[in-house]
Amino acid sequence: MGLKNGRCDRCGKPVRALRMSMFNTEMCCQACLHKETLHPKYQEAVAAERAEVLKGNHNFEGIGKPADL
């Protein structure tokens, strides 16, 4: 995975490190990832990711980013 020009897919802020969202395939900065951990559907996204990985699906695209995130 690359840094996608070193910018967060959500906020566009230039950063040195990005991590993939639990909701979709966006690469996000720490601030955006922190916001998503506070979302009510975050645990649902984590559980769905885990279930897919246990089934052998390492390319799960997530449950989709909630509109209010």
Query: What is the share, in percent, of the chain residues with pLDDT greater than 90?
Result: 88
Mean pLDDT, rounded, of the chain: 93
Q: Does the pLDDT at position 1 exceed 70?
A: no
Alpha-carbon span 32 to 37, nearest angstrom = 9
pLDDT at 52 (0 to 100): 97
Of the candidate ranges 2-6, 10-14, 28-32, 37-41, the one whose mean pLDDT is the lowest:
2-6
Q: Is the dihedral of CA 1, 61, 37, 53 positive or negative?
A: negative
Model-level pTM?
Answer: 0.87
Strands (E), the chain: 19-20, 27-28
